[in-house]
Amino acid sequence: MVKALHVTGFWSGNFYYRGYLPAIANGYQVSNEFIDGQKQNDGQALVAKMDTVDVVLFQRPNYEDLVTLMKLAKQKNKIVVFDDDDTFKLGEGVVPQNEKEQAFGEKVNRVRIEALRASHGAICTTEFLAQELREVNQNTVVIPNCIDPDDEGEVDENKSGRLRVLILGSVVSNDDWKIAQKAIEKIADRVTFVLLGVPDEDKYTSYKDDMKFWRSLPHIEEIGNVVFGDYYNTIQNTACDVVIAPRADNYFNRCKSNLKFLESSLFAIPFIGQAFDDGLSPYEVNPQDINFLTLAKTEEDWENVLEDFIANPLKYKEKAIKAKEYVLEEYSIYKHAHKYEDFYKSLLK
């Protein structure tokens, strides 16, 4: 077995899927135990751990201190691996809305490219994103996001008398909701929209217009960002009947994975996701997934699907129960963890 260490970046949720789960499944070390809200690495302890391994994976190394650690690992003759599940490509993946965002984006992009160049290889979630990373590091492989079957559960029962529609994370903002705006407005008086991951508008001023739309609806509940240790419990406590993920067809979203479908299915929550004209949305790239979720492509599709859901919620729940079985089997980290081991062995040759 390869001796490896997985190092967290700033975002604990990303590290859970991309670093922590594969490390636990394969018996690797992690930079720190997965403690609620813990995002920082202990530099001295990390250097000591590096001395005991052959491979060090850095998950989302978008910060200069992590690049410094990467270079130190190389000096110690360790194999260094870059991992990410998002694009930060300026002008395409990330479109700054003001000078402050532009300066931050330029810095992150510069650090990220430096990290890729310093790595012996890279891992990401989708083939579309891999094409971007290969512009800098040709030795990039795709390993999908996975789940831990032990995390499965059941969403709380909705006793409100009104169907509850959950919107997760980035779908709340980034204008993604606009493709489904008419459909959302049409059903707004019959459902409650639950927004999980509402952004800090003082920090991210470009989201003010997004929130203005959501707050124009008659029945909404807002939940801010939560530490990942509370994330699953928060989803369960929403007592939602469906998760919807409308997505604008743009470069950023084409780099996305099917993670929201996986998370919804862990709790047998019906999932309605976005389809693209060429059939390459995050919810279509794995053809098997399509059997266990519902797709909407156009504004009219969103209207029809949401009306059908309101009329036939049990039909969607039955599909979600099958989706849970499918995800627990096909996306279990224990089915895919060997891909990390295989890649590391290839780099050690």
> For position 100, which CATH number holds?
3.40.50.2000
Spatial separation of the C-alpha atoms in residues 217 and 238, rounded to whole Å: 18
The per-residue pLDDT for range 92-133, each reduced to its tens digit, is 767 777 788 788 888 888 999 999 999 999 999 999 999 999
Specify the higher pLDDT residue, 170 or 264. 264
Plot region of 5 (φ>0 → left; ψ -120 to 50 → alpha; else → beta): beta
The verdict on 179 and 296 lying in the same domain is yes
Specify the higher pLDDT residue, 291 or 199. 291
Band of pLDDT at residue 37, cut at 50, 70 and 90: very low
The verdict on 50 and 186 lying in the same domain is no
H/E stretch holding 142 reads strand 140-142
Spatial separation of the C-alpha atoms in residues 231 and 223, rounded to whole Å: 11
* pLDDT tops 70 at residue 40: no
The verdict on 114 and 164 lying in the same domain is no
| Mean of the per-residue pLDDT values of the chain | 92
The verdict on 161 and 92 lying in the same domain is no
The verdict on 343 and 231 lying in the same domain is no
Beta bridge partners of 94: 90
Give the lowest-confidence range in 233-237, 248-252, 306-310, 315-319. 248-252
Identify the pLDDT of residue 338.
98
Structure tokens at 79: 């194999």
* pLDDT tops 70 at residue 34: no
The verdict on 255 and 129 lying in the same domain is no
Domain with 107, as residue range(s), is: 4-146+333-348
The verdict on 202 and 271 lying in the same domain is yes
The number of distinct structural domains making up the chain is 2
Mean pLDDT of 261-275: 98
Give the lowest-confidence range in 98-102, 233-237, 258-262. 98-102
pTM: 0.93
Among residues 37, 41, 39, the alpha carbon closest in space to that of 5 is found at 41
Plot region of 81 (φ>0 → left; ψ -120 to 50 → alpha; else → beta): beta
The verdict on 138 and 21 lying in the same domain is yes
Phi, psi of 120, deg, nearest 5: -75, -25
Identify the pLDDT of residue 182.
97
DSSP state of 16: I
The per-residue pLDDT for range 285-294, each reduced to its tens digit, is 999 999 999 9
Spatial separation of the C-alpha atoms in residues 296 and 221, rounded to whole Å: 24
The verdict on 125 and 236 lying in the same domain is no
Among residues 15, 112, 23, the alpha carbon closest in space to that of 61 is found at 112
Distances in Å between the Cα of 231 and the Cα atoms of 63, 226, 235, 265 are 24, 6, 6, 15
Identify the pLDDT of residue 96.
72
Q: Is the distance from CB of 232 to CB of 266 less than 8 angstroms?
A: yes
Give the lowest-confidence range in 12-26, 137-151, 164-178, 223-237. 164-178
Give the lowest-confidence range in 29-33, 34-38, 77-81, 309-313. 34-38
Identify the pLDDT of residue 217.
97
Spatial separation of the C-alpha atoms in residues 162 and 187, rounded to whole Å: 11
The verdict on 188 and 121 lying in the same domain is no
Q: Is the distance from CB of 273 to CB of 301 less than 8 angstroms?
A: no
Q: Is the distance from CB of 74 to CB of 118 less than 8 angstroms?
A: yes
The verdict on 134 and 90 lying in the same domain is yes
Spatial separation of the C-alpha atoms in residues 64 and 39, rounded to whole Å: 15
* pLDDT tops 70 at residue 156: yes
Identify the pLDDT of residue 36.
46
Burial 169-190 (b: 16+ CB within 10 A, else e): bbbbbbbbbebbeebbeebbee
The verdict on 206 and 163 lying in the same domain is yes
